[in-house]
Amino acid sequence: MQVVSQNRSFGGEQTVYSHQSETCGCEMTFAVYLPPQAHNGPVPVLWYLSGLTCTHENAMTKGGFQEAAADFGVAVIFPDTSPRGTDVADDDAYDLGQGAGFYVNATRDPWRAHFRMYDYIVNELRDIALKNMPVQDCHGITGHSMGGHGALTIAIRNADMFGSLSAFAPIAHPTQSDWGRKQLSSYLGDDESSWAEHDSTLLLEEYGWKGDLLIDQGANDQFLDLLKPEALANMMAKRRQPGQIRIQQGYDHSYFFVNSFARDHVAWHAERLS
């Protein structure tokens, strides 16, 4: 692992690392914020998965998670959103290929050689964090848009690994959205039965979530038709899933929205991980 950059932030350290990923077969970059409490011993860790077009950097610089993470003594890991590099398959569209890994393990060419973000997060990056950083094996997960989809699907399928779960404007029902059908068919093929385990509304229907959920969604989000929060809200109510969906008046899909509720989410996770 190589240190790409390191900056003091709210008394802790914001570090960017690069490493050769066995899972993705390429060099990967991720960021970790360690709060000042990490000097005194391992701290719980919150995973933040980013949305389409993002790298590890967007939320690290614009999300505003560090202040609350320092207040509550939680580490935050910001993975990249896909494998990268000239040897890695890509597509001209912003919503497929590099920057758009969708947190699945691709099974179709040309994607399957590198696009294994599901395994990368759940296994490789978790192991790296536990071996190299002062973090407890005690994880919360959140994310924005495609990253909200990643957080919900990864946590529900790995409930033993995650103690808390939230999302910002998640792609909530990708099997019924143009943000989903295109990517799932490209990465997984046309057999839609293989898609269900990557759809948080369907996963919630089948498994529920062991704890309570926090979902924030801007009422003025320009992508509401693609995100389909109504499917998730319907399923939560139908399944009597504890938690809350907050429709936030006036907010759009930007990092100004994420930033405005970052503290709420860090506090939510800290309370449930402690």
CB contact set of 274 (below 8 Å; sequence gap of 6+) = 44
Please, which residue, 41 or 250, has the CB nearer to a second copy? 250
Please, which residue, 18 or 254, has the CB nearer to a second copy? 254
Q: Which of 80, 199, 216, 221 is catalytic?
A: 221
Please, which residue, 9 or 142, has the CB nearer to a second copy? 9
Yes or no: say if 74 and 104 are a contact pair by the CB < 8 Å rule: no
> Would you call 266 exposed, middle or buried from its count of C-beta atoms within 10 A (0-12, 13-18, 19+)?
buried
Contact residues for a second copy (CB under 8 A)?
Answer: 7-11, 14, 61-62, 64, 66-67, 218, 220, 248-252, 254-257, 259-260, 263
Backbone angles phi, psi at 118, to 5 degrees: -60, -55
Please, which residue, 103 or 251, has the CB nearer to a second copy? 251
Distance CA 37, CA 66 (A): 13
Please, which residue, 35 or 147, has the CB nearer to a second copy? 35
Q: Which of 9, 82, 145, 200 is catalytic?
A: 145
CB contact set of 214 (below 8 Å; sequence gap of 6+) = 165, 166, 167, 243, 244, 246, 264, 265, 268
Q: Is 145 a catalytic site residue?
A: yes
Q: Which of 56, 253, 265, 269 is catalytic?
A: 253
Min separation Cβ 10 and a second copy, Å: 5
Give the DSSP H or E segment for 46.
Answer: strand 43-49
Length, in residues, of the chain = 274
Min separation Cβ 264 and a second copy, Å: 11
Distance CA 274, CA 67 (A): 18
Strand bridging mode 43-49 / 135-143: parallel
Strand bridging mode 12-21 / 135-143: unpaired
Min separation Cβ 67 and a second copy, Å: 7
Active site residue ranges:
145, 221, 253
